[in-house]
A and B are shown apart, each in its own frame.
Chain A
Amino acid sequence: MATMEKSKMIGDGKSPSQILKDIALSQEGILFIILVLTIMILSRSNENFLTTRNLFNQGRLMAEVGLMALPMTFIIITGGIDLSVGSILGLSAILVGYTWSNLGMPLEVAIVMALLGGSLAGFINGLIIVRINVPPLIMTLATLAFYRGLAQGISEARSVTGYPEWFFGLGQGTFLGFPSQLWLLIIAIIISITVLQRTTLGRTLYAIGNNAVGARFSGLPVDRTLLIIYTFSGFMAGLSGVIFVSRFTTTRSDMGNGLELDAIAAVVLGGTSIFGGKGSIIGTIIGVVMVQLLRNGLAINGVTNDATIVVIGSVLIVAILVNNQIQRLRQSE
């Protein structure tokens, strides 16, 4: 809860330079500095890295993971996890294709169906986690397989193509000079930050993560809150699925395979504690951007794919170690 600490410190009447130092040394601050350093190094070794064209392209590629990482931050703050988002993405993508092609509905209806389907999938996760008290890890591991199987069953392993041209605007077009899906991501970020920092719901998330039993006895609507965020997670995965179909111009049941791990990695890299109670949206966004730019920057500089995975893994470990060390030092100050 870095921002809460910050506002407390500001209230303590510290000097502006002290406030600046606090921001720089916060979890997100350190991460941001590492990100800037990475970008500087990568852009020095290849002039094609820091071009609007490439950056916009990367924006497109990271939008889907970004959208899923936002609710994932909420869920991890409560001490839960959602492993099924990659599968929900695949299921929603198939729903777009199935509703439009097999049921012959207009594409607009198909998109709504996909969003509803995604939300429903998330709602089922939440319902069973809350009502039957299944640990989120187990429940979403089960639905990771279940939703993917459903996607394969509905689609009968066939892909749907031939969507009308206007639909591709979402995944490939631009709006006001920016890639369309980046606008969606920006709007989602603003909403998520507001919810987390400025609403009771956001505060409840932290309370649940810190002490779920305590939160319940304090009269907080724990069950309802969990139900909302798992449904939200499913909805965002559904939205990502629609963008995915638009970007690839086809639906396949294996879409989004493994993306849940990318989303979780970004959230954890962004300083959200896997034990719950601590984390921020800004950190998650820096995490998403960092992983995406590292992948792209290394590839552009001619690093092979296998080596890239190793480098990214190492950077993740170093970033987390450095950050932990600094936060520990600050606490003992």
Chain B
Amino acid sequence: MRKFLMTFIVMLMMAALTVTVTAQDERWDGADDLDVAPLQCGMGDEMDESDEGMDGDDEGMDEDMGMEYDGGSAMGAPDMMGEDIVLVDVPKLIGIGYFDATYLGMQQAAEELGNVTVIQGGTTEANIDDQVADIANYIAGGEIDGILFAANDPVAISPVLEDALSQGLHVIGYDANSTPGAREWFVNQAEFNGIAKGMIDSLVAEKGEDASFGIVTSTFTTPNQARWIAEMWAYASDCYPELEWLETLEAQEDAVLSFNQANSLINKYGEDLDGIFGMTSVATPSSADAVTQAGLCGEVAVVGLATPNAMKPYVDDGCVQSVVLWNPIDLGYAAVYVARAVVDGEFAPGDTTVEAGRLGTLTVVNGSEVLLGPPFIFNAENINDFDF
């Protein structure tokens, strides 16, 4: 039996290898070979469902609509419809700009709603042991009606959250998910295809539909980056076939290495290089630094994922026009609105949309996730409003 299993696994691995080899002909370096679901072309902000994915089946948003609710439910939760509720925010850690911003958004939502109090929980280190003990203490304290969390580990956090649900507490995740059954809803800040579209659209807006560009990523196998590149490849193939893909270079998440790799792109392709994509929050500022030092601001566009603080100098001096990420204030804001709607019975399993104050109507994806919307593009006008 075991032998059979081993043989099977080896065969599977060989099959996977073959697929990878053949897939490399189709996909760009640094992309994975999972299914992609590119969004519709165009510069609009609307997150329309795509008509059809490249491979046509699952993972895509179009298929998600039919996926059944796979979240948990708060057992025997008291009916608090319209009544004052207390929620505790347990982020990965406290004291950093990013989670200060999500907390600020929560407070804004609480103020607007008037019948929600959000208290700050969480620990000063992003440590799963401490996070679990912290949540256990809030459950035992008995003074909260719900938990908003960003998990340090999706699996390890689940038992304590399941415990909270069994005590009748409402559990909503944001930023970093748990296993679906351990919480009711998860507010998803951005889907891979949304980020990919934001990146490609930003470059096209700056350099036109026939721009040529290089990519600086962490490694070819880092899951998120590989997913983003695959989605970028799919979206660009559909929408901007004229774009010229030059090369993907690996730079781990190392600032010096990223700087050097961006420099090699600049030196190798010279005039032919119109843009650089930074796939990590380290690669993007380093690439911007390399372009600045080469005196090529304006000649070579830098577009990438990064936090505003790291990019402010380059955006302020005009070297970088767009930084792609999501708005953490909106993320926290949406989490509170979702929690309130769940308590009031306005948002239940099976629903496909939820009202979230100033953000309007948010869509349910992947069964039990609420999508925040298209990624947020930081530019010269808005970047100084953020501090993280």
CB distance from B303 to the nearest CB of A (A): 29
For chain A, give the interface size range: 20 to 34
Within 8 A of B (CB), among A5-61: 46, 48-49, 51, 53-54, 57, 61
A53 with B140, Cβ < 8 A, contacts A250-B153, A305-B122 known: yes
Contact of B155 among A48, A161, A295, A306 (CB under 8 A): A161
Within 8 A of B (CB), among A87-110: 104
- From B36-44, B127-135, B314-322, give the one contacting chain A: B127-135
B156 within 8 A of A: yes
A256 touches B124 (CB 8 A): no
B143 within 8 A of A: yes
A299 with B134, Cβ < 8 A, contacts A172-B159, A250-B156 known: yes
A159 within 8 A of B: yes
A300 touches B158 (CB 8 A): no
A275 within 8 A of B: no
Would you give the 0/1 interface string for B103-131, flagging 1 where the beta carbon is closer than 8 Å to chain A? 00000000000000000101110011100
A255 touches B133 (CB 8 A): no
B6 touches A300 (CB 8 A): no
Query: Which among B120, B134, B137, B141 has the highest number of chain A CB atoms within 10 Å?
Result: B137
Residues on the B chain within 8 Å of A57, using CB: 136, 140
B138 within 8 A of A: yes
Within 8 A of B (CB), among A292-318: 295-296, 299-302, 304-306
CB distance from A62 to the nearest CB of B (A): 10
A159 with B122, Cβ < 8 A, contacts A104-B5, A257-B127, A300-B141 known: no
B153 touches A252 (CB 8 A): yes
Tell me the dominant secondary structure on chain B's binding face: helix
Cα separation A212 to B220 with both chains bound (whole Å): 57
Contact of B133 among A46, A61, A254, A256 (CB under 8 A): A61
Residues on the B chain within 8 Å of A48, using CB: 140-142
A248 within 8 A of B: yes
A210 within 8 A of B: no
B153 touches A159 (CB 8 A): yes
B156 touches A296 (CB 8 A): no
B2 within 8 A of A: yes
Would you give the 0/1 interface string for A154-179, flagging 1 where the beta carbon is closer than 8 Å to chain B? 00000101000000100010000000
For chain B, give the interface size range: 20 to 34
Residues on the A chain within 8 Å of B6, using CB: 104
Would you give the 0/1 interface string for A248-284, flagging 1 where the beta carbon is closer than 8 Å to chain B? 1110101111110000000000000000000000000
A295 with B133, Cβ < 8 A, contacts A46-B141, A306-B124 known: yes
Contact of B120 among A49, A51, A172, A304 (CB under 8 A): A304
A159 touches B155 (CB 8 A): yes
Cα separation A61 to B138 with both chains bound (whole Å): 14
A104 touches B141 (CB 8 A): no
Cα separation A255 to B5 with both chains bound (whole Å): 31
B2 touches A104 (CB 8 A): yes
Residues on the B chain within 8 Å of A61, using CB: 133, 136
B138 touches A299 (CB 8 A): yes
A248 touches B140 (CB 8 A): no
A305 touches B129 (CB 8 A): no
Would you give the 0/1 interface string for A62-80, flagging 1 where the beta carbon is closer than 8 Å to chain B? 0000000000000000000
Cα separation A51 to B141 with both chains bound (whole Å): 11
Query: Which among A48, A168, A258, A305 has the highest number of chain B CB atoms within 10 Å?
Result: A305
Cα separation A172 to B122 with both chains bound (whole Å): 23
A248 with B124, Cβ < 8 A, contacts A104-B2, A255-B129, A299-B134 known: no
A252 with B128, Cβ < 8 A, contacts A48-B141, A53-B140, A305-B122 known: yes
B159 touches A249 (CB 8 A): yes
B140 touches A249 (CB 8 A): no
Residues on the A chain within 8 Å of B156, using CB: 159, 248-250, 252
CB distance from B162 to the nearest CB of A (A): 10
Residues on the A chain within 8 Å of B132, using CB: 248
A248 with B159, Cβ < 8 A, contacts A57-B140, A305-B122 known: yes
Residues on the A chain within 8 Å of B129, using CB: 255-257, 259
Residues on the B chain within 8 Å of A49, using CB: 140
CB-nearest residue of chain A to B132: A248
Cα separation A256 to B129 with both chains bound (whole Å): 8
Cα separation A168 to B159 with both chains bound (whole Å): 10
Cα separation A313 to B136 with both chains bound (whole Å): 22
Cα separation A54 to B139 with both chains bound (whole Å): 9
Cα separation A159 to B2 with both chains bound (whole Å): 23
CB-nearest residue of chain A to B143: A302
Chain A residues packing against B (C-beta within 8 Å):
46, 48-49, 51, 53-54, 57, 61, 104, 159, 161, 168, 172, 247-250, 252, 254-259, 295-296, 299-302, 304-306
Told that A57-B140, A159-B156, A299-B138 touch, could you supply 6 new A-B pairs with CB distance under 8 A?
A: A46-B141, A49-B140, A248-B156, A254-B128, A255-B128, A305-B122
Please name 20 pairs of A and B residues whose Cβ atoms are closer than 8 Å in the assembled complex, sorted by A: A53-B140, A54-B140, A57-B136, A159-B153, A161-B155, A168-B159, A248-B128, A248-B132, A248-B155, A248-B156, A249-B155, A250-B155, A255-B129, A258-B127, A295-B133, A299-B134, A300-B137, A302-B141, A304-B120, A305-B122
Chain B residues packing against A (C-beta within 8 Å):
2, 5-6, 94, 120, 122-124, 127-129, 132-134, 136-138, 140-143, 153, 155-156, 158-159
Shortest Cβ-Cβ A-B pairs, 5 listed = A299-B137, A250-B155, A248-B156, A300-B141, A54-B140
